[in-house]
Structure 1
């Protein structure tokens, strides 16, 4: 397969991305001190791994941003007619960013792909949390002055309703800290 290069949107003339999943820094002059300039030659940018995905940092006018390489490749080479929010790696290998291995997908399509095509086992992490309907959730009480003022199906449900950090509520329920958000919290089974 021949390597085809395209400018990265928003970084035209500075960086290019290829259909093979590589990113190139284009030759240019950069400021080196108050009145001096130096020429930086064209070179391939070395990506770093984040959660198994290749990630690079792009700089423009002093501002630096991180991008996942698979997103840059898909934006440049794969039309997204249906406005799907994510990019799926067809072979399941997160750092294989060749354009033929990428496709736009919804979150649901990604999960179905992992089960049907990649034969991954269904886990609790993919099923999501459904408050009192989730089989691993524990109901919690919100308490003030030793009086229960509210009951929630789960810590996450309490967080959504009260805007109090879920980790703090959990620590209260486990007896690690005394209160969160000005309230005491206990698991329903403990009451």
Structure 2
């Protein structure tokens, strides 16, 4: 694209931009369906301004919002989802459908449970395969389950693969009520 074409495309995109108040910060900040956040002007010295997001180590963009002298940092994808996407089932996580954590457009976001989000990460290849068999033991019931891989255990139990790895490597003792150990058996899961 030539420079003129790029500018025309950006103008067209921004013409379709919709803004809604940020819950808890009404009258101070708004978020758009394109994943942008702006501070609203007030009768004092503040002019309307698009906030520059900060890229965090976890790969998500966040912005700092202030109200009554208190500053708080928010992930932009959660601000967009909370403002634009109904969540009648109270699902706790916001999923990036294309797997790109930087793409906070409304079209790319949806609410999911933790288990659904983990399954999506596996289906889209966002999580590396680990075919080492593991045994999971439930701490309350003593139930043991054999899995052919950490991936399978993650999907079935709704536990993040990194947390399973942390238990296996002794960094934490258990996660979500399960302890894990390596298995040399190559059986299917129960």
Q: What SS does structure 2 have at the residue aligned with 1:94?
A: coil
Q: What SS does structure 2 have at the residue aligned with 1:108?
A: helix
Question: Where does the alignment leave 5 or more consecutive residues of structure 2 unmatched?
Answer: 1-12, 131-149, 151-159, 178-190
Distance in 1 (alpha carbons) for counterparts of 2:48 and 2:172: 52
Question: Where does the alignment leave 5 or more consecutive residues of structure 1 unmatched?
Answer: 31-38, 139-153, 161-191
Matched-pair contact (CA < 8 Å) for 2:20–2:32: yes
Partner residue in 2 for 1:63: 70
Which of structures 1 and 2 has the bigger CA Rg? 1
Instruction: Render the CA deviation track for 1:45-100: whole Å, top value 9, x for unaligned.
Output: 00101111010110001111111000000000001111111001011111110001
Matched-pair contact (CA < 8 Å) for 2:99–2:126: no
Change (3 A) 1:4 1:130: closer
Matched-pair contact (CA < 8 Å) for 1:114–1:120: yes
Q: What SS does structure 2 have at the residue aligned with 1:71?
A: helix
Relative contact order: is structure 1 or structure 2 higher (C-alpha 8 Å, sep ≥ 6)? 2
Equivalent of residue 50 in structure 2, options 44, 48, 51: 44
Scaled by the length of structure 2, the TM-score of the pair is 0.62
Asked if 1:5 is matched to 2:22, the reply is no
Q: How many residues align?
A: 132
Correspondences of 1:101-140 after superposition (within 5 Å): 101-118=108-125, 120-123=127-130, 124=150, 126=161, 128-129=163-164, 136=168
Distance in 2 (alpha carbons) for counterparts of 1:74 and 1:86: 10
Distance in 2 (alpha carbons) for counterparts of 1:61 and 1:98: 29
Scaled by the length of structure 1, the TM-score of the pair is 0.62
Say which structure is richer in strand.
1
Distance in 2 (alpha carbons) for counterparts of 1:130 and 1:69: 29
Partner residue in 1 for 2:84: 77
Partner residue in 2 for 1:156: 173
Q: What SS does structure 1 have at the residue aligned with 2:173?
A: helix
Distance in 1 (alpha carbons) for counterparts of 2:93 and 2:99: 14
4+ residue segments displaced more than 3 Å: 127-131
Kindly report the root-mean-square deviation, in angstroms, between the aligned alpha carbons of the 2 structures: 2.6
